[in-house]
Homo-oligomer: A and B are copies of this chain.
């Protein structure tokens, strides 16, 4: 991508990332709907309808499926940039049209050496860095302008490289991870932060509306999280990630509801994403044995 593109100059780059189960794209239409919302609010004059992007995505995927080993799952990426900034168009003899990039690569690379998260759970830490509130830069627009994610990660991984960041918003409510959504279970009920200062994840939506029959969007506090029965994160590549502790306060992990939702998901997509992940790690000789500490 050109360094004179608005995408690099202003992080002005709406995008979506997806994954397959059994080589079938998951929730492509939902991702495209969100993408076109981002495009609308950023007023990017895209030349293509979502039908065209849908087809292009599926063709690219098919080509990869046909030309690579059968056991792969795929991760795809759709980037939409506004194009070369007007002041550089003369310089580059470019008319400044939006650029759409669709990429496809094995999911295996992204999940490498992390199959242990499903059984052991991850440890979260709340960094000093806060989430940006929607009033300043709306996280519901899935764009690349998210330097603060990287800063949050640097803060917690500076302490311990296996910590994941859990961001609070400036009001002190739990917002999200740096690329994942957060859920707690309390008295057998499921809760997740209101879809305000976080990305409204497609996976989050799937858990809320399809997997669970009773999930409440609510302002959640650190106190709620610490005193919960279970907690987990959701994101596209991992689906559901059990949480073992938050700032050192332990939670039941893997909890009953978490396990139930993972199983239901696996049954629904007929693809055991946990075993898949373990299999890839075993191949690499990297399977981590988890003590029941």
The residues of A with any CB-CB pair to B shorter than 8 Å are 1-3, 6-13, 37, 40-43, 77, 79, 82, 87-88, 90-91, 101, 103, 105-106, 109-110, 112, 125-128, 130, 132-138, 140-141, 143-151, 154-155, 158-160, 168, 170-173, 194, 196, 219, 221-223, 226-227, 247-249
Contact = CB atoms under 8 A, between A and B. Distances in A.
A109 B91 contact: yes
A172 B169 CA distance: 13
A136 B90 contact: no
Copies of this chain, tallied across the complex = 6
Contacts of A37: 223, 226-227
Given A128-B168, A227-B37, A110 B135 contact: no
A223 B3 contact: no
A89 to B, nearest CB: 9
Contacts of A168: 128, 135
Closest 6 CB pairs of A and B: A135-B172, A11-B11, A145-B147, A159-B159, A126-B128, A10-B150
Contacts of A147: 10-12, 42, 137, 141, 143-145
Given A43-B154, A154-B43, A221 B248 contact: no
A150 B6 contact: yes
A256 to B, nearest CB: 20
B136 A170 contact: yes
Contacts of A103: 3
Nearest to A159: B159
Nearest to A12: B150
Interface centre among A7, A106, A133, A136 (most CB of B within 10 A): A136
Contacts of A196: 219, 221
B40 A249 contact: yes
A264 to B, nearest CB: 25
A106 B91 contact: yes
